[in-house]
Amino acid sequence: MAVTVLPTERSEEVVTVLCDAFYNYPVMRYVLGDTPDYAGRLTTLSGLFVAARANPDGLMLGLDDPAGTMVGGAMIDLPGKGALTPAFEAFRKSAWEELGDDARTRYEAYGRASREHNHGPQHHHLGMIGVLRSHHGSGLGRVLLEHVHALAEADPRSTGVSLTTELARNVILYEHFGYHVTAHVRVAPELETWLMFRPC
């Protein structure tokens, strides 16, 4: 399966993949809490993440199976990311009105922890990468990750690729792909994050 750059028209498919891949992920559980409509709220939160990259300063990547169904996706911020569009600002306002102030406060606490240790604007940032749980262990995550690395290496503006992970076991995985930990932050008693970077 080949990695493709997706048009904004396929945003909902990316959201579906990421909701499945990140259903029990620590950041999602931390931000959204234990609510009866967790799945619906997760769709809104994932939609917010996707919309932030579905613009000229971001990329959505996808992997389709032979039948044309998306089974993996990745969200990337490009070097020198500029101001967000008015359309996205309106969407973000609507999403947080739906999710509530408590969720927004928790999300902003996580965001501050990440931003304090970022690498500046001149690199690719891998915001999310996920594969349907039914396809775990198939090597598709590696295919997506290696495509992101190739994009960064081909871009003279980029010094490398950054990412965060909230699972300790993922740190070893990403180290295998050339990343190193640049910071380890305790966001809350129930959430910690590792910031990682892979130079070009």
For strand 191-199 and strand 160-165, is the pairing parallel, antiparallel, or unpaired? antiparallel
**pLDDT for 56:** 67
Q: Give per-residue burial for 144-156: e unless 16+ CB within 10 Å, then b.
A: bbebbbebbeeee
Q: What are phi and psi of 69, to 5 degrees?
A: -90, 130
Q: Which pLDDT score, from 0 to 100, does residue 3 have?
A: 94
Q: Which residues of the chain have pLDDT under 50?
A: none
Return the pLDDT at 97: 96
Q: Compute CA distances 94 → 15, 45, 48, 59, 89, whole Å.
A: 17, 11, 10, 23, 9
